[in-house]
């Protein structure tokens, strides 16, 4: 059947997360690791940089199949993430490309300038061995994000090369998934004290 990563998912028939359905949220083991730094001073924080990569067709969010991907635009998701990142002592850099080679290049560059990655590779999730190799070589914490629940969609969309390099996968929660990925990375990187 293929690789099934740890996931946090919500939504019916692959539809994005609807905030009115909080009571129906199902969580199936997203691991969050506390970084070893700042143990001597639990109130001390540091700022870490997270690169958020978005793959093909995500520039069309808000108009492309809103019944699957929701009505949020990539700009509105970015704005929400910037606000959440500030609360978490993180900085974020958002990028989107329709070009596989450009995405691979950004991952390669990230190792020298960022402490973690959030990746929504779009269709490259299911096809790009080159992206997987770059993520493994970068050796950074990675959280994979998908707006829809890929496990409730076509079988080919249930295969993820990115997940093989990711510490966790969040899918089906719409734009909120990006914010949850930031929270997980803030705990992993030690920029916030665990609740």
**Annotated active-site residue in 3, 33, 38, 69:** 69
3 classed as catalytic: no
**Annotated active-site residue in 114, 124, 146, 161:** 146
108-122 pLDDT, tens digit per residue, is 999 999 999 999 999
146 classed as catalytic: yes
61-86 pLDDT, tens digit per residue, is 988 877 777 789 999 999 999 999 99
Tell me the three state secondary structure of residue 170: strand
18-64 pLDDT, tens digit per residue, is 444 433 333 333 433 334 444 444 544 568 999 999 999 999 998 88
Confidence band, pLDDT 50/70/90 cuts, at residue 159: confident
Measured distance CA(17)–CA(11) in Å, rounded: 5
Residue 71 has what pLDDT?
82
Show Cβ contacts of residue 186 under 8 Å, excluding neighbours closer than 6 positions: 48, 88, 89, 90, 192
Contact 10, 145 (CB under 8 A): no
Contact 84, 91 (CB under 8 A): no
Residue 137 has what pLDDT?
97
Question: What is the pLDDT averaged over residues 127-152?
Answer: 93
For helices 100-110 and 129-138, what crossing angle results, to 10°?
10
- Strands (E) across the chain are located at 7-9, 26-28, 48-54, 90-96, 116-120, 142-146, 168-171
């Amino acid at each position: 059947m293929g690789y099934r990563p740890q996931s946090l998912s919500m939504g019916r028939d692959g539809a994005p997360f609807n905030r009115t359905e909080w009571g129906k949220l199902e969580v199936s083991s997203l691991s969050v690791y506390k970084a070893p730094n700042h143990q001597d001073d639990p109130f001390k924080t540091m700022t870490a940089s997270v690169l958020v990569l978005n793959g093909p067709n995500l520039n069309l969010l808000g108009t492309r199949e809103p019944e699957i991907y929701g009505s949020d635009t990539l700009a509105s998701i970015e704005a929400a993430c910037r606000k959440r990142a500030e609360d978490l002592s993180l900085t974020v850099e958002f990028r989107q490309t329709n070009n596989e080679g450009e995405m691979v290049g950004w991952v390669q560059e990230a190792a020298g300038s960022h402490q973690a990655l959030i990746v929504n590779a779009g269709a490259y999730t299911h096809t790009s061995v080159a992206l997987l190799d770059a993520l493994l070589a970068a050796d950074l914490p990675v959280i994979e994000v998908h707006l829809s629940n890929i496990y409730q969609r076509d079988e080919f969309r249930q295969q993820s090369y990115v997940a093989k390099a990711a510490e966790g996968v969040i899918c089906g929660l719409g734009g909120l998934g990006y914010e949850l990925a930031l929270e997980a990375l803030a705990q992993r990187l030690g920029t916030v004290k665990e609740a």
